[in-house]
Each structure stands twice: as C-alpha cells, then as structure tokens.
Structure 1
Amino acid sequence: MLGEVEIVFGFWAIALILIFFSLSGKNETLSYLNNQSYVEPIFVFVIMIIAASKPVLDFSLTSVRAISRLLPIHKSLSLFFITISFVPLLGSFITEPAAMTLGALLLKDHFYSKNISNKFKYAIIGTLFVNVSIGGTLTPFAAPPILMVASKWNWDLTFMITTFGWRTALAVFTNSLILTLIFKKELANLEEPNIKPSETPLFILLLHLILLIGVIIFVHDLILFLGIFLIFLGIANSYSQYQNKLIIKEAFLVSLFLSGLVVLGGLQKWWLQPLLNQLTPDQIYYAATALTAITDNAALTYLGSLVDGLSDQFKYALAAGAVTGGGLTVIANAPNPAGYSILNKNFENNIISPLYLFLSALGPTIVAIFFYKFI
C-alpha cells in the first residue's frame, strides 16, 4: 500500500497536522481540522464500494449486453463500441471507478485476450482513460474533480447535464466511433463474444440498486449515507455468495487522497488567490488540462474552489480542463490505476509505456477539447 500514489497526500496531511500541533497546540489544530468538510471523501469511499459490488456490476454488464445486441452490426464491433462509450457514461451513475473496473474487465476478457495488435491495445486504453475521465460529468457526484466542488459551487444535476452532459456525450461517442472505425477490420476478424447472463437473484440486484440510489440521494447527509452503507455491509455479509471481494483498499486510498487534499488545501488560499486571479478562463482551461497530466485532477478543482470571486466561466473552464486531461497519464485521474492494474498484464513485459499511453490519449483529449471549448 505504501507504494500507491494516493498515499502521498495522506502522509503530507499527517506531517502537516503534527507540525501544526507542535507549533500551535491542540486547540488550534483541532479547530482547523473541525472547520474542514470531509463529507465528500467519505462519500467517495462509500459509493465506490457499493457501485463496484458484484450485483451492481452484473446489472451494468447486463445493460451493456442488451444494448450491444440491438446494434445491427458484427457483435464484436457492437460490444466494443458500447463498452468504450456507454460504460464510461454509465460512470456518471455507478461512479467513475466502477465504470473503469467494468470497462477494463470487459475489454480484457473479450478483446485484450484475443490476438489484437499492440497499436490497438494502446489506442483502447488511451480512449478508455479519456472517456472515463469525462464520462462522469453527467452528474455532480460520480467524478472526484466534480464532486469536490459541486456543493460549494451549487452544481446540481440539472446544471451538470445542461452544461457538461451533452458535450461529454458527444465527445465520448465521437472518440468511440473514431476508434471503432479505425480498427474495424481487426474487430471484425475476432470471434463473436459470449457474455454469460448474470446469475444474481433479482431481489439481491434490486436491493443493491436501491441502496446505491439512496446513497446518491443523500450525498450531502453524512449520517444517512453512512447508515445506508452499514445496511449494505450487512447485506453483503449475509449474501456473500453473490459478492466478489469488496474494493475496500481501493476506495480507502482514493478517500485518503481526497481527505489529505482537504487538510492540505485549507492553507493554500494565500498563494492561489493572486495566481488564479491573473488567469483568464481560456488560460486556466488549457493550464488545467496540462497540469492534470502530472497531478490528480481532483486536486486542481478542489484547490480552485478555495479561491473566492471566481466567475462562472472560470469555474467551468477549470473543471472542464481538469477532466479533459484525465486520461493522459495513470496518475491524472483517480480511477486510472484500477484500469492499469487490470490491463497491464496484456502488454509486453506487463508494462504500459507512459509515453505510448500519453500519445494514445492525445487524440481523444483533443476531441474533448473541441467539444468543451468550441461547441
């Protein structure tokens, strides 16, 4: 666990608290910590675990299977197109980490396990990372960079759909269509995939979906969504035969990262305010897109939310830029390491080249820039 990228912010936060305690004493330290809001990091922990549970993933897989059958084309092409497009958009409802997990598993089982070219492998993962990064922006709770600012900036479901959602859908489908057409011959040569129907009982499936919806409805009510989470844990334990291993470690790491970000971010306003006030919305969009490649996109948006007096155009540019660049590197977006760990064994020497990943994601990123900036 100590080798995980997300752990760094946790250690920095602990170091800050210890320094704060030694210099200012117990009362001031506790006062500072108690004045921060940890609802979003805890919510991410809860919803990641529920959304990535086997019944919810089975429901998502069944949906993918049903939709892919409706397309009047070769089944390999239809399954691939739906996996690389619909699944990332589904992330707006089951969360981006769950969408990344589902998409990567489908791609591994039905495409990476076949004899596809190395060029196609990189094109897939580059497009997947970009589509998942932007695909969670139809709702205010699924993408960490949006979740961390949605409450403060009053971005509700209506705002997300009308401002981000339609642009996101167009970008995701354009990326997916281009990729499918480029590798059409290679996909058509693959044997038709066979997705087995879910064996999860209907009442278990419905129960998990109800709990997931309940957590989403009470996203800002810590006590209520924690109570729902406890009910989920009880059900998961009672019907363990219908569960895979819960992703507690992965959810903890993302939550730790966001919590550390909250603790550290509270003291950054002094230099952020004058810096951001010097930038135009266009400048911050491209700066956020570029910086996301070397830091997590949730860090950028959260730090930006600490600055007072930002215009609506500036807020949109910051968030849009952060999600646009989320596929350029493994560390750019919190769900990327999950996709990396699932797919890396299908590459030469079990390594995904950072350079080839960046180059593969560059095209889909440019498409996202076009829709977010010029449409």
Structure 2
Amino acid sequence: MNPTTIELIGAILFAIAVIHTFSTKYFERLAHSQPNHSGLWHLLGEVEAVFGFWAMVLVVFMFFIIGQTSAIEYVDTRNYTEPLFVFAIMVIAASKPILVLAGRIVRVVASVIPIDRQVAYFFTTLSIVPLLGSFITEPAAMTLAAFLLRDRFYTQGISNKLMYGTLGVLFVNISIGGTLTPFAAPPVLMVAAKWGFDMQFMLSTFGWKAAIAVFVNAIALTFLFAKELTAMKKPAENGPKEDMPVWVIATHLLFLVGVVVFAHHAAMFMGLFLFFLGYTTAYSRYQDRLILKEGLMVAFFLAGLVVLGGMQAWWLQDTLKGMSPTALYYGATALTAITDNAALTYLGSLVEGVDDQFKYALVAGAVTGGGLTVIANAPNPAGFAILQKYFNDGSINAGKLFLAALGPTLVAVLAFQLL
C-alpha cells in the first residue's frame, strides 16, 4: 500500500466529503447568518452538491500536482454511464403518465389486502415497488416509490418519526429489492458478467432472501405506525382529475423500457431521453413539470462520487482482500455507508482468485448497507431529492436517517446470514 500524493489527497477529500454530507445543516445556518454569501452556503448545504463540489476540488489539485494532461485524462477515463442513467430514468419515471400508472397498480394491489386502504397503500408502496425495482431498475423504483409516498403521505404533514422511518425502510428495501435479477441493482451489475451471476443464480442465492426481508421491513413499519396511517385523511379521489389516455401511458412506458434496455450504453439511452423531452413538449397537456433540475443534481452527486471514488482503490481493495467471508460481509455493509456500494463491488471484483464465499459476502454486504446513508446506493439521492423538503427545515438529518435505516438493515443482515 504505497499511495501517491494525489491518491492521499483524494482519500482526504473523500473523507471530507463524507463528513460534509453529515454537516449540511451547518451550511444552511451560515446561509442565514451571512446573507452576503447565502447563495454559496445554500449550495454547500445541498447534499446533492457535496461530492460534485469536492470532486472539483480534487481536479484542481490534480492540475497543479500531476499536470493538466493527466488531470484531464483521469476525468475523461471515468465511467459516467450510471450518473447519466439515473438522471434519465429518474426524469422519465417521475413523469405524470408513469406516476398515474404506478398509482393505479399500487391501488389495485392495496385493494385486495383486507386492511384499511391507507395502510394497505403504504405497505404496498414499501414492498411491491422496491421488488419491482428488480425489473425496472432500482433508480426507477426509487423515483416511483418516493413520489407515491410524497403525494399520499408526506404532503399530509405526517410525524417526523414516520417520515424518517419510511425513508429508512425505503432506502434499505430499494437496495436489497433489486437483487432478484442481475441487471437492476448497481452493485450486482458491476460484477454480474465477470462472476457469472444470471437470473436463476440471483433468485436462488439472493432474491428470495431479499424478498423476505423487504416484506418483513414493510410489515414492521406499517404495524408500528398503523394508528397514525389509519387516522390520516383519506384522498378524496383515486388519482388525478383528468383522464390519462392509454396511448400516452404506453408511449412513456416504451421510453422507460428503452432506457432500461440500453442502460449500459449512454449514447443510446441519452438519445432516447432527448426524444422523450421532445415528445413531452409536443404533448405538454399530459405532463407536469419534469424534474430536470432534481435529476441533474442527483447526477452531479453521482458523477462526483465517480471522480472521488476512483482515488480510493489503493486502500479499499487491500482492505477487502484481507478479510474472511464473515468479516467481509460485515465490512462491506459498514464500508457501503461511507462509499458507493457499486464502487465497492467493482473494486472487489478486481481481486483475483476469490471463491464463491467471497463473492456472496461482498455483494450481500454491499446491498445490505445500501440504505444507511445517502451515498451508500446510487438511487438514494433520487429519493432524497424528492422527499427532503417535507422534513423539518427542508433537509434530512444524516444521523437520523442512519438510525432509521439501522433496524431494516439488521433485518437484511439476518436474511442474508441466517437463511
């Protein structure tokens, strides 16, 4: 382990960025106490801006230490497919016709559950939608679930405990719920081809365990807050006032499926996305505002994570290599909280000569810890951006999120370690 100067700086800046994500409220307070620079402090108070900002600082250091050519080459050789994909899928999945369809599906499923309709809707959104992420990808499932929860619950002024509890379960369930297939969860996607993880393997090794944990988490939270959910004001109607033509929903679904199919090919799915923007402009009467700003901020966050994460291989890979399978599982769960779980599994896949126990422990640990922090799993910033303004002071406390996700994470630990 002999890091270069720039690798050491990269590790230090990464640590600062992690601390920064837990300290955004401090910058919000500065924005009020120092109005002359409130714009800058507000920017630094946005969680989505944190890693992008510190990635920029890293690039500046690189220009001075290793030179312009090497710095540009480093930035150019990073893979930004995931940030671009999350941006595109987040905007499409949050479009009005897709949300209308998702809402109808959740209502139909909830209607067959013999409990209070509001409670059933809550349970279904936190269980079925995360598992749906195995087929429409986790970022799409996160976006859908966050909007459904926002419109049905968060806008009604629910208690702070329920807000954090819901977010914790949502983040954990999305992270583990995408493991029924080899293409939906970012940490699985990073190793599936190299390690030969196909659909049958994922279902038999990870998927059924994850599904049990997802349902247990959703049931537990629903039971704990059943009284508050039951007392909530029921929606006056089951959906938007205006009808949504089937052909409009079908067209949006085609765009969504197209982006998912070409998820590994940025030029293809971004081309489809640009067509989507043109289509929504042409048929604006069927649309609400597209969440372009929110999507771009999430992409900025993830791109910054890619740039900073590329400098962490020197310590992270050696750390993973020296662990036993059990230690690796718990280590991966913990490391995921301060790194991106896809980056973690990617670095682990570079270790040669590993056995099946190593592979299982690394992937299971990476998805288990994916709900503990906003940086742990690529879809988390999407849910964060959609729901944060409904929390106190319009921001989500990272410590409270960690505590809220701890219980669901322990359920996932039991599922992956004991079943």
- Work out the CA distance in 1 between the residues paired with 2:353 and 2:304: 25
Alignment gaps of 5+ in structure 2: 1-42
Structure 1 position 242, deviation (Å): 2.0
In the TM superposition, residue 232 of structure 1 has moved relative to its aligned partner by 1.6
- 1:106 corresponds in structure 2 to 148
* Counterpart-to-counterpart distance in 2, 1:8 and 1:107: 26
Q: Return the match for 2:131 from 44, 64, 89.
A: 89
Who is 2:239 aligned against? 196
Question: TM-score if structure 1 supplies the norm length?
Answer: 0.84
Residues 34 and 313 of structure 1, relative CA distance in 2, 3 Å threshold = farther
> CA contact under 8 A between 2:328 and 2:362: conserved in structure 1?
yes
How do 1:294-313 and structure 2 match up within 5 A? 294-313=338-357
- Residue number in structure 1 paired with 2:295: 251
Contact 1:100 1:335 in 2 (8 A): yes
What code does the residue aligned with 1:181 have?
F
**Per-residue deviation, residues 226-281 of structure 1 (Å, max 9, x unmatched):** 33223222212211222233233333344344444444444544433432221122
Q: How many angstroms does 1:62 deviate by? A: 1.5
Please, which of 154, 172, 177 is the counterpart of residue 214 of structure 2? 172
Whether contact under 8 Å (1:261, 1:299) holds in the other structure is no
Taking the TM superposition and a 5 Å limit, the aligned residue runs for 1:1-375 are: 1-17=43-59, 20=62, 35-114=77-156, 117-193=159-235, 194-196=237-239, 199-344=243-388, 346-347=390-391, 350=394, 352-375=396-419
Shift of 1:64: 0.6
98-107 or 72-81, which deviates more: 98-107
AA matched with 1:164: F
CA shift digits 1:342-374 (9 cap, x unpaired)? 445555555555444333322211111111122
Offset at residue 69 of structure 1 (A): 1.3
Give 2:46's aligned amino acid: E
CA distance in 2, matches of 1:29, 1:348: 40
User: Are the equivalent residues in 2 in contact too, given 1:134–1:324 (CA < 8 A)?
Assistant: yes
CA deviation profile, 1:47-106 (whole Å, cap 9, x unmatched): 232222222222211111111112232212211211121122223334434433433333
CA distance in 1, matches of 2:109, 2:272: 31
1:54 touches 1:243 (CA, 8 Å); kept in 2?
Answer: yes
SS for the counterpart of 1:332 is: coil
- Partner of 1:107, secondary structure, is helix
Q: 1:340 to 1:269 in 2, by over 3 A?
A: closer
1:35 positional shift? 4.9
| Alignment CA distance shift 1:54-1:143 (3 Å) | farther
Cα distance in 2 between the residues matched to 1:175 and 1:24: 48
- Partner AA of 1:72 in structure 2: P
Give the root-mean-square deviation of aligned CA atoms.
3.2
Structure 1: how far apart are the matches of 2:385 and 2:70? 41
* CA offsets 1:260-316 (integer angstroms, 9 cap, x no match): 444444454443343222112211221222233344434433443444444343233
- Taking the aligned partners of 1:25 and 1:354, their CA distance within structure 2 comes to 36
Q: 1:344 and 1:38 mapped to 2: Cα distance? A: 25
Q: Counterparts of 1:248 and 1:347 in 2: how far apart (Å)?
A: 22
Cα 1:25–1:251 change in 2 (3 A) is same
- 8 Å CA contact 1:104, 1:342 repeated in 2: yes
Structure 2 distance, partners of 1:32, 1:56, is: 38
My pick for the range that moved more, 296-305 or 164-173, is: 296-305
The 3 A distance-change label for structure 1 pair 226 and 154 is: farther
Q: Distance in 2 between matches of 1:368 and 1:280?
A: 20
Hey, what's the Cα distance between the residues in 2 that align with 1:16 and 1:245? 35
- 2:137–2:260 Cα contact (<8 Å) kept: no
CA distance in 2, matches of 1:349, 1:296: 27
Larger mean Cα displacement after TM superposition, 93-102 or 44-53 = 93-102
Aligned AA for 2:334? A
Number of equivalences: 375
Q: 1:220 to 1:118 in 2, by over 3 A?
A: closer
> What is the CA distance between 1:317 and its match in structure 2?
2.0
| CA shift digits 1:196-240 (9 cap, x unpaired) | 267322112111211222222223334332332232222122112
Q: Any unmatched runs of 5+ in structure 1?
A: none
